Structure 1
């Protein structure tokens, strides 16, 4: 399964963490366009081996795979040889995991990113680089005044209601995960300033779509859909009114392509990337959409709020739209249905069938939270 880096062949792009959910979609896009792509991945995350096998089945003639970890400076430097562009996706991705093992979280997210930057800086011809950060760099947003409106929280400030949180918001790293990703993104931006690398940062919100092997700690949209298809109960932490903007992965791939094309003018800048104000959903609202799509109830349970869980976060993507012309094109309903279809087709044990006719109808008020 492992190929030597380069294997004597030049590659246009290196994607670290390229066997993950975002990476496999991005790699497929560029491979389908005729480019040669190199992936570096440790294959630690569940589902990554299956994603890699899918890529190899479809694009084996143009795909190079390096089975390695970004914590290895030598492996990263070797994989970097001869590439023109890097997308650095490899990361420890869960707040909960960072609380259990903050040292591992730092080693992967902060030290691993520094390895990638140093390899790029020391290359004969330094490649351009896009780094994926997180909205968690803005902290818990506790100062944001909210009120409950039906099944969601909404901000009282009109500008935030209309557009979301923009990049002028001060950084406030929460949790070891927020700290490690925040530190990493600041290194990425500074390597543009200090060493002249062409780098940019995507502060990403909630991405969803095919090839996502989500769990309740990360990739929550896919996690909830999988649970619903499997007719298993879903645990909601908090009251379920927390709101996020969600972005279908095809639209994210388009954002990567535009950033790569315009990297010279985007270099040294950070951008919010998400579904924006036009693609928001609360946890309870997502459950309701799934119930309508599946025509049956979804079992729920509730637990306490988790550390660093923002009650409201919506990306203002205006800065990136103004710079590149990009905007999301996939509506939530279409994206959810596409992910349901992919999960049901790729995991035969999941049921996409409707509720039996004898079952009780859905109760329109069933999702309300007391208190």
Structure 2
């Protein structure tokens, strides 16, 4: 069956009403899979995503509104799952600094609850875990230079490839610690207990159904502020560089990891747009202004804890092991998200057809 192996049961997507989870659940249901969407509906906007999913796939989507910390409900949801995609998380660095215990309980204890539920099964199903590039810390040892309004590695080799999975782990902030520890637990449960699990260390994913805020989902946040005619605050100098990846490409990578779980199990993969989709925050804002036909008002504030001046994924391992296609150019993807957000806001926010791509950022 398209999208993954033929299931003997439903596919469980924790955090399935969130941005990436909802896009994945939609793809799975469209491919003919029964899907359990397990979500606490704690984040603003995710209830709308769930409503959208159930309207599109009324015969395929089953919703369980529950917290990842509820071991009994989670165990029940995972009991017959043919595969599990684990997105449920506390996702903001800033929130982790304000409420580190809750961050720990959701991200690490919640993941352990899921791992134990799968370990209890006679034949554990595949598990694909959404990790983060924050496991590599702030990368302060990487020598950088400023070129074209962007922080870029002084080492041309690193600039050409990005950060690879061999980079030492270095957890910063409670969020980095909780997600990093969960990342390691997933890999160890694959090693110690034979759970066929793989880890996807994601860079900046963006696209439709993302309801970004100042704390998380910055591409959508920039667009939302610009569409509303409000200023965007850049923390630091705005020359931070990220490799952005459209959610359709992220979903394709997760499904590829499921299809190839025998090769992916026990491994971590950096998942992002790679050097070809590396772009500074300032350049994204300039492109948004180009799309809207007016400049975006920008303000500046102090750097935030744990912020990486440069992070770009070395995607060669994922591309080779999972057979991934070239990702969507970031200019096309940002235009796609702009159209979706404008449509969500009605005709007063509509934008015209996107200009032709201008090429990837250097």
Q: TM-score range by the shorter chain?
A: over 0.9
Q: For residue 128 of structure 2, what is the aligned residue in structure 1?
A: 130
Q: For residue 89 of structure 2, what is the aligned residue in structure 1?
A: 91
> Residue by residue, what CA displacement relative to the aligned partner does 1:92-140 show, whole Å, maximum 9, x if unpaired?
0000000000000000000000000000111243111000100000000
> Residue by residue, what CA displacement relative to the aligned partner does 1:316-364 show, whole Å, maximum 9, x if unpaired?
010111112213431111101110110011122862358xxxxxxxxxx
Structure 2: how far apart are the matches of 1:61 and 1:120?
26
Q: For residue 344 of structure 1, what is the aligned residue in structure 2?
A: 342
- Asked if 1:52 corresponds to 2:12, the answer is no
Q: TM-score of the superposition, structure 2-length normalised? A: 0.94
Structure 1: how far apart are the matches of 2:79 and 2:57?
21
Is this contact kept in 2: 1:294–1:352, CA < 8 A? no
Q: For residue 31 of structure 1, what is the aligned residue in structure 2?
A: 29
Aligned residues: 346
Q: TM-score of the superposition, structure 1-length normalised? A: 0.91
Q: For residue 324 of structure 1, what is the aligned residue in structure 2?
A: 322
Q: For residue 4 of structure 2, what is the aligned residue in structure 1?
A: none
Is this contact kept in 2: 1:15–1:39, CA < 8 A? yes
RMSD: 1.3
Q: Secondary structure at the match of 1:278?
A: helix
4+ residue runs over 4 A deviation: none
Structure 1: how far apart are the matches of 2:187 and 2:75?
20
Greater gyration radius: 1
Equivalent residues in 2 for 1:190-339, closer than 5 Å: 190-339=188-337
Structure 2: how far apart are the matches of 1:161 and 1:329?
18
Structure 1: how far apart are the matches of 2:62 and 2:123?
20
List alignment gaps of at least 5 residues for structure 1.
Answer: 1-8, 355-371
Q: Secondary structure at the match of 2:21?
A: helix
Q: Secondary structure at the match of 2:275?
A: coil
- Asked if 1:112 corresponds to 2:110, the answer is yes
Q: Secondary structure at the match of 1:272?
A: strand
CA 1:350–1:214 in structure 2 vs 1: closer, same or farther (change >3 Å)?
A: farther
